[in-house]
Chains A and B, each alone.
Chain A
Amino acid sequence: MYSFEPSEEQKMLIDTVSRFATSDLRPAAHDAEENKELPRKLISKGWELGVLQASIPEAYGGFGERSAVTGVLAAEAMAYGDLAGALAIGTPGLFALPVLLAGSEEQKKQYLPPVIEAYWRAYTAALIEPSFDFDPNDLKTTAEARGGEYILKGEKTLVPFADQAEAMIVFAKLDGATKGFIVLKGAAGLKVGAEREKFMGLNALPFFKVTLDGVKVPKANLLEGDFTPVLAAMRVSIAAMAIGVARAAFEYSRDYAKEREVFGVKVAQKQAIAFMLAEMATEIESMRMLAWEAAWMIDKGHAEAGKQAYLAAIGAMDMAMMVTDRAVQILGGHGYIREHPVELWMRNGRGFAMFTGLAIV
């Protein structure tokens, strides 16, 4: 039976996350971007909301059950505050959820509690590769079985907190399929770039290149499970965050247009602007439906979930570009000035096309 109303529990979670996003993340976003640093206190506070913890079962140190639907609801609410903050808070999930989804019972028991039980610590994942035709299902990074080990070779980019990570999941191609490997801090041949990577946006986050120069990984560190559900989860997460950023940009430009006077009326009273806003709102709602559906299919174990998540991610990234661009346009010259957040959101908006792998819920 169709329903588009979150459960009471989900509503409470959205409420909590939204309050944090609005009163903590958003006010800190500008300075974090300019100073290229997110206050650690902010990350800790966000971590304590327990979004990730609630999606890990008690047996592994968490206090809940994973639900992709709950995940996308939380992801949108968090990214609405600030994308960099949302990604930073969720970074340990990049390690924990692939273990939960594709790991063995022993791996879950061994690796999940340390991530989940304590304060926020850097655990991360390396998926994205520095090439224009990067394809998560056709990685250039390879894993080769040799003796009782796997040898990883390749280059990764956009690995958050790689410099301080206790451990990371490295995704590599093994016998033609993408697999995750648990790589611990200080593994021989694991080279984290000496300097942070510089990007058009997300400057508040420390990203690094990671080179895998024949890293030896024990057999026991292979996540044997299928990569498909992991990728599907990554795609809906990025879709949900794109929706959150787009909603932020939409609301900001809408409110601005209702304040700003032009030719004796408010800007929003001009159809040229009002129609732009109407289309932005419609597109956001459309893509939210698509992301929710994909997440719902993931939770149902639906055979088409992966395809649906792919469609949701593509749809949401295009929508986020369109909406954030228009938000800047509606503010005009003011939109181009870094005092207003819309230009940052526009830089984020462009980034969603390459962000798959930076979040997973």
Chain B
Amino acid sequence: MIDFETPEKISGVLTVINTVAVNMMRPVARYFDEHEHEIPWDYINFMHTAARAMGGSSMAPSEKKEGPRFGYQRLASMIEMLSWGDAAMYLDTPGGMLGSAAVTATGSPEQRERFLARFRGETPVFDAMCMTEAGAGSDTSAIRTTAVLDKDESQWILNGEKIFVTAGHKALVDSKGFIVVWATIDPKAGRAGMRPFVVEAGTPGCQVTKMEHKLGIRASDTVSIVLQDCRIPFENILGSPEIVQAKETAGFKGAMATFDATRPLVAAQAIGLARATLELLKEMLAERGVTIRYGVPRQKLTTIEKDVIDMDIMLRSAWWLVVKAVWMMDNGKPNALESSMSKVRAGDVVNKITQKAVEIMGPLGYSREYLLEKWFRDAKISDIYEGTGQINRLVVARQILGYRSSELR
């Protein structure tokens, strides 16, 4: 039965998060944009305490329970609302993000317990996902970071450099978190050799070497990490031990399965930011005597009205693509197509909306007195990370055409 009603368990949480967004994010969003690399501890500590009080721990969806599952739907809604507060600060939310998503998607039950338990502790903890390298961006099969098995010590030895790691500093330096490193166990095997490894904070040979200065999302750290003869326990390879030997692309498939879960969540971030922008734009216009006449034929509308109505259409439809993708995730339906579609669309939409909003408000839009220009800068990342718009178009195209990657490069 088709139903667009927000489940009560989600709307209840959203009310709480809206309060956080209004009171703890919006007032300091500008400050942390202008003080890059400072950490919004007030927000972080509050979120951690609140999560503990509610019996939850991590942002990651909980394990299977009785009844209908809506963990991912709930998570996407929370991310949307937090990003409505501030898309950059949202990335500082403690309690498991992309790294945990990889652990959840590819790890064994024992690993999930071992790595995710820390999020229930007394102090806030972060994780991060390390995929990108200087020579491997969208083409993740070109990853050169190596993992060599030392059988005598039953350890993996990791070597390589990862870049553009979101929250890597918070995961390794500011808390006792972990990173998930994608490395190859056989550089000649391409995708077939790729495996995810968990490296915990404080592991010798693992170091944060650089903090980037960015166009936007400045409240979130983006770092380079060097792995130099970094030894981790054998058991830190994610998934069942058999995949260690498997000659198939299980590892790469694990990465892709992770993306199926995380792409709609990154899309949800874009939607929250886009909604914030559209709402502020409408408010600013209304204060200046411009209201939008919905229902009137377009031939009779002003350009601004047409633009705003187009934004409404883009925002709303893109949001439902996100919800559908996570709904499928929760219901165990394969969602590679929908997941990438939602990311393509949300990445487009947030950029179109923020760009247009700045344009419409003219010098006010361009001014740092208002948040519109910041949101314009924050928006761009949504079309880049977790797969650029182009890579996701490729994924969508392969799905609808029934092509393997060798058939559509």
Interface residues of A (CB under 8 A from B): 1-7, 10, 69, 132-137, 254, 257-258, 268-269, 271, 274-275, 277-279, 281-282, 285-287, 289-290, 292-293, 296-297, 306-308, 310-311, 314-315
Contact = CB atoms under 8 A, between A and B. Distances in A.
A275 B393 contact: yes
B2 interface: yes
A7 to B, nearest CB: 5
B53 interface: no
B6 interface: yes
B208 interface: no
Given A1-B7, A3-B327, A286-B345, A277 B408 contact: no
Given A307-B295, A311-B316, A133 B3 contact: no
Chain A interface main SS type: helix
B344 A278 contact: yes
7 contacts: A2-B73, A132-B299, A135-B300, A254-B400, A275-B397, A281-B400, A315-B317
B68 A286 contact: no
B71 to A, nearest CB: 13
Nearest to B323: A2
A271 B7 CA distance: 40
B394 A271 contact: yes
A137 B4 contact: no
Given A254-B401, A286-B318, A307-B295, 5 more contacts: A7-B1, A268-B408, A290-B317, A290-B320, A314-B313
Given A4-B2, A134-B297, A311 B309 contact: yes
A91 B323 CA distance: 35
Nearest to A255: B401
A161 to B, nearest CB: 25
Nearest to B342: A282
B321 interface: yes
Contacts of B31: none
Contacts, number: 127
B327 A2 contact: yes
Q: Across the A-B interface, give the 10 residue pairs with the lowest CB-CB distance, nearest first.
A: A289-B320, A286-B317, A274-B397, A315-B313, A278-B396, A278-B397, A278-B393, A290-B317, A3-B3, A1-B7
Contact of B324 (A254, A287, A289, A310): A289
Contacts of B403: 268-269
Contact of A137 (B1, B5, B295, B396): B295
A1 B68 contact: yes
Contacts of B294: 307, 310-311
A277 B1 CA distance: 29
A2 B4 contact: yes
A292 B300 contact: no
A258 B323 CA distance: 31
A304 B211 CA distance: 47
Contacts of B5: 1-2
Nearest to A311: B313
A293 B2 CA distance: 9
Contacts of B296: 135, 137
A6 B317 CA distance: 18
A103 B323 CA distance: 38
Given A2-B5, A69-B2, A274 B401 contact: yes
Interface in B361-404: 390, 393-394, 396-398, 400-401, 403
B408 A292 contact: no
B213 interface: no
A65 to B, nearest CB: 14
A295 to B, nearest CB: 8
A186 B1 CA distance: 45
Nearest to A70: B2
A2 B294 CA distance: 26
A258 B401 contact: yes
A137 B295 CA distance: 8
B4 A296 contact: yes
A4 B396 contact: no
Contacts of B1: 3, 5-7
Contacts of A314: 298, 309-310, 313
Given A269-B403, A278-B344, A311-B309, A286 B299 contact: no
Contacts of A275: 390, 393-394, 397
B336 interface: no
A1 B298 contact: no
Interface in B1-39: 1-7
A135 B296 CA distance: 7
Given A2-B73, A286-B318, A311 B396 contact: no
A290 B313 contact: yes
Contact of B321 (A285, A297, A306): A285
B186 interface: no
B299 A133 contact: yes
A277 B341 CA distance: 12
Contact of B6 (A2, A5, A297): A2
A279 B408 contact: no
A290 B394 contact: no
B312 interface: yes
B347 to A, nearest CB: 11
Contacts of A271: 394, 397, 408-409
A355 to B, nearest CB: 13
B407 interface: yes
Nearest to B77: A2
A320 to B, nearest CB: 13
Contacts of B318: 286
